[in-house]
Amino acid sequence: MPPHRKRFNPRNIPCPRRHCNKFFTTIAAMKCHLHVHRREEHLRPVPNRLASNRSPTPDAPGVAIEDDPPDFSDDSDPDLDALPNWGPGLGEDNHRSNLESVTYHPIMNGRPCDSAGIFLPDNMPPPAWDDPSPDDFSPFSDLEDFEMANLLYSRTQMPKTQISDLMQILARKFAKNGNADQDPPFADSDDLYATIDAIEHGDIEWESFAVSYSGEITAEDNAPWKYKSYDVWFRNPLAVLKQQLSNRDFANEMDYAPKKVRERSTGKQRYQDLMSANWAWQQADLRVAENPDNAGATFCPVVLGSDKTTVSIATGQNDYYPLYLSNGLIHNNVRRAHRKGVTLIAFLALPKTDREHIDSDEFRAFRRHLFHSSLTQILSPLLPAIEKPVVLRCADGHYRCVMFGLGPYIADYPEQVLLACVVQGCTANSKDLDGERGRRTHEHTHATRRAFAPNILWSQYGIVNGITPFTGEFPYADIHELISPDILHQLIKGIFKDHLVTWVEDYIKLVHPKHAAVKILAEIDRRIAAAPYFPDLRRFKEGRGFKQWTGKDSKALMKVYLPAIAGLVPPRMVRAVRYFLEFCYLVRRAVLDDDDIEKIDELLALYHQEREVFKTEGVRAKGFNLPRHHSLTHYREQIIEFGAPNGLCSSITESKHRDAVKDPYRCSSRNEPLPELLLINQRMEKLAAARVNFTARGLLNSSGFGHRELPRRVVRELRRIQEEDDDGGAVDGKVLAEVVMAIIALPKIPRRVDMLAQFLQLPTLREDICRFLYEIENPDRDQTIPLKNIPIRECPEYTGRIYVFPSAVATFYAPSNLSGTAGMYRERIRSTSSWRQGPERRDCVYVEHDSEVPGFRGLHIAQVQLLFTIKYKQFRYPCALVTWFSAVGDEPCPDTGMWRVSPDFDANGYRTTTVIHLDSILHAAHLIGVAGRHHIPHHLKHTDSLSAFKTFYVNKFVDYHTYETIF
């Protein structure tokens, strides 16, 4: 007798939320989904609602933030702390703040036209898309065949033989059930591949050309690279851009004209996406000035990026040189997300030779020529569309006359040197790299070549003779003004990890005996390892003592490094690291304005001033004239020209390597796999394009099992939940925070207050709940009287049940974090007696004190000891029992720039506790102990850190959103 097995349940219960296409197997699963995603159109902004038993904070001018919050649609994963939210974005009209004014270019304003290029009257609707019949899934038979193909080829990347085996298993299953005539979705793997190849959407073929050395070869010349031919594989960039611009998934996340966004009250300009910065506006001016007939057209920047990558540590050629393409009309958050806003368009050639010739001048010159001639050839199909507008269908359904132009190029420093045809290391005055000088231009390069010999060009002007950058072949383009800022390699991996962290270590070794230096470095490692949990914070269990560092490792170290060195190195050195971190976090923001530009100048000046300590202490006797440090001086102008740097960072191309190169390589035979990589990428693009098409046509809104009717009792309950969540209608304004309790209460613990208090060893729990209810019933009480001073006999008695939960989920607007395209971010706040079968975890949170006071002065820090709900007078109250921390001083620490707090104790030496409403919590906070000059115990674990120190830093560097808000 086979064991009893769980029966299959179809996913046929639809989510009742508008625009949500999810289906569920059970009503309970649907309720869990609604619990997290319960406000579809509007989330409540945070009111001032903290029980005022805390000391008042100094008044400060308020900051108004207004915007319509986007909705979000992904399920929460209880195993994750930080949950990026990939929900649908908002249109221009929705996300434009009432505090902003938007001015579009008056002439090249992206006017809709018909398919012949004739401009339409204003407010004309777009023509209907030429979609096939509603039940046409061609080339797939039905929805299930498409989902099966997407699952096997894209999501799981199942090997070829296993696909065929699966089809055989399904066929045998059908035959045993009396359906011998029913075929599986695909005959075998070849049939699956052929069906994917037949998809018409996203069908852009790969082409190739060969490049070889064309110079004179003498009989004595035995350089092997001169006799080889190098293949370059590419796709038509114009066809790729047409596909990107018509992607209906981007309909509400594109700008069809350059624009200037200003604050209404001050007139200060804001810089975010590429089309909101000055360069796009100036390019439109140039095209209109040259040809007035370009009026009404759309200027579309072409964003390029290239970066070598290695797919394996095995022997043989395992490195590739992908070239990526994006367009400047899509918003930065779309380009950063994995949503086909960045497309692989080429694999550039990587010529190699033997050791005898690898360092020869001829071979180096050939590699440069190969690179630039390849880019020129690949991009040549764009030339007609750069010189004259072409009519294209856009994502919103309208046709527009589009003029392309080469835009910012994403590259790290070695790649930038190659692009600009300059000498690596630069030949500028090594004692004054940041001095006032004019910028390079194509005209300047041509003039110096005519005037000077090649050796003078190399040694005094840093110009590589005999080669012109590829941009010289395209109108309006100059590579010297198109190099984009690179936060990842210039700032994070470069200045922070390779320079500052190394210099701090060098200083410690320089001024201390070897044994003492080792102890101090070990102390820094212990402090880093002792950092408490925080959502999405990578832990360094043994400090930073490992060899292979990734960009993610460097980013994680930035979050915890400053408190670790405070007290162990001179204060000026701490301030140097702090000002650099502040600079880095500021330029990483999703939106910057003129005030931020001034702040960038201020922070850069302070960093330049404080970093001199490394010179005076003998660590950097040669000074700081280094290319990466010099790059800091260009961020100001590059933000003004190109918008927020996070939309043009090399982290975008690096993250694309996995989808475009590394995963396809793992699926290949690994024997000369480039043709396989091309085919895999093409099939992936086709599946993605088919999904976008099917989604836009509404074909993916069905479960395939029909819609299961919900019982009337469940319908009434859902309506009641929605009514309880509605506080009186939609409220305009950007969502600061919303916190909801976890789905399931903890089992097998007492439900009565006294028994629970004894079980959890919380002796004041009953009094704290009663005082919370007193505050609920007396909202207009004298706020100057601390709640703890209210006699307990005057407070309501609570005799009901209490339900304890392990966590709560905070959702808030954090566009600078790795958030969804609409800027929403979700993180889990935990309070549990055992986390992952280990010690307890009690997270810290920000609790609102005064919403009119910006920054940390309007907040309190608390540690969540218990998450629970109570029911009082027919109302359910989600609550948190918290212990408090008080600010140390009225200003942040002058060296680290972080606020310091210390735990509150009552007269008997016990931690001060309070019950607060869950709505009082904004989101999680991260505290790191202040060790100062003292050494922390070797046995101290990160799980005990929050109870081991007398004072803590409020870590504003734990993520970008915290840095923006906690100042």
Task: Write the DSSP string, 908-930.
Answer: TSPBPEEEEEGGGEEEEE-EEE-
60 in Cβ contact with 857 (< 8 Å): yes
Residue with tokens 């990587």, as numbered in its chain: 350
What distances in angstroms separate CA 946 from CA 133, 301, 419, 578, 911, one per listed residue? 61, 50, 50, 23, 13
What the block records as the tokens of 847 is 């609790």
Strands 952-954 and 900-903: antiparallel
Please name the residues in contact with 395: beta carbons below 8 A apart, sequence gap of 6 or more: 245, 246, 247, 248, 249, 250, 251, 254
SS (H, E, C) 136-192: CCCCCCCHHHHHHHHHHHHHCCCCHHHHHHHHHHHHHHHHHCCCCCCCCCCCCHHHH
366 in Cβ contact with 357 (< 8 Å): no
- pLDDT, residue 18, reads 63
R_g of the chain, CA atoms, integer Å: 31
**Nearest partner of 688 among 652, 659, 653, 651, judged by Cα:** 659
Q: Distance between CA 553 and CA 544 in Å, rounded?
A: 9
Q: Distance between CA 212 and CA 214 in Å, rounded?
A: 6
DSSP structural state of residue 762: -
What the block records as the tokens of 515 is 């044994």
- pLDDT, residue 88, reads 29
Q: Distance between CA 739 and CA 846 in Å, rounded?
A: 12
Strands 390-393 and 738-741: unpaired
Q: Decide: residue 592, CB within 10 A, 0-12 exposed, 13-18 middle, 19+ buried.
A: buried
Taking the CA atoms of residue 284, residue 287, residue 293 and residue 296 in that order, the dihedral angle to the nearest 10 degrees is -10
What the block records as the tokens of 726 is 């509605």
| Residue 581, number of CB atoms within 10 A of its CB | 24
Average pLDDT per consecutive 10 residues, the chain (967 residues; last block may be shorter):
68 73 76 60 36 33 30 33 33 53 96 96 93 90 93 94 95 89 93 95 94 86 90 97 95 95 93 97 96 96 95 72 97 89 96 88 92 97 97 97 98 92 68 61 80 83 87 94 93 94 96 96 95 90 69 90 97 98 96 96 97 96 89 95 95 92 90 92 94 88 59 56 36 55 91 95 95 91 83 92 95 77 82 92 94 92 97 94 96 97 92 94 96 92 95 96 92
Taking the CA atoms of residue 538, residue 543, residue 544 and residue 548 in that order, the dihedral angle to the nearest 10 degrees is -70
930 in Cβ contact with 531 (< 8 Å): no
Q: Decide: residue 842, CB within 10 A, 0-12 exposed, 13-18 middle, 19+ buried.
A: buried
Kindly state the helix (H) or strand (E) to which residue 767 belongs, with its residue range.
helix 765-777
What the block records as the tokens of 185 is 């979705």
Bridge partner list, 147: none
**Nearest partner of 916 among 833, 836, 808, judged by Cα:** 808
Q: What are phi and psi of 569, to 5 degrees?
A: -130, 165
**Nearest partner of 70 among 93, 92, 94, 47, judged by Cα:** 94
Strands 807-813 and 738-741: antiparallel
Please name the residues in contact with 901: beta carbons below 8 A apart, sequence gap of 6 or more: 861, 885, 886, 887, 888, 927, 951, 952, 954
* Ramachandran sector of residue 536 (left: φ over 0; alpha: ψ -120 to 50; beta: rest): left
Kindly state the helix (H) or strand (E) to which residue 615 belongs, with its residue range.
helix 612-616
**Nearest partner of 898 among 672, 615, 605, 566, judged by Cα:** 566
Helical ranges in 396-548 per DSSP H: 413-420, 442-451, 454-461, 502-511, 514-529
| Residue 704, number of CB atoms within 10 A of its CB | 12
Length, in residues, of the chain? 967
DSSP helix/strand/coil, 551: helix
Strands 298-306 and 399-410: parallel
| Residue 338, number of CB atoms within 10 A of its CB | 12
120, HSE (Cβ side, Cα atoms, 13 Å): 17
Residue with tokens 């958050």, as numbered in its chain: 333
Q: For the chain, give every domain's residue range.
A: 143-197, 206-213+223-426+452-484+648-695, 487-646
Q: Distance between CA 497 and CA 85 in Å, rounded?
A: 30
Q: Decide: residue 11, CB within 10 A, 0-12 exposed, 13-18 middle, 19+ buried.
A: middle
Please name the residues in contact with 722: beta carbons below 8 A apart, sequence gap of 6 or more: 38
Helical ranges in 198-310 per DSSP H: 237-245, 278-290
244 in Cβ contact with 270 (< 8 Å): no
| pTM check: above 0.95 | no
946 in Cβ contact with 939 (< 8 Å): no
DSSP structural state of residue 437: -
DSSP code string of 713-760: HHHHHHHHHHHHH-SSS---S----EEEE-SSPPSSS--BHHHHHHHH
What distances in angstroms separate CA 819 from CA 50, 272, 781, 959, one per listed residue? 27, 15, 40, 12
**Nearest partner of 71 among 961, 697, 739, 813, judged by Cα:** 813
Q: Distance between CA 511 and CA 527 in Å, rounded?
A: 21
Q: Distance between CA 267 and CA 224 in Å, rounded?
A: 62
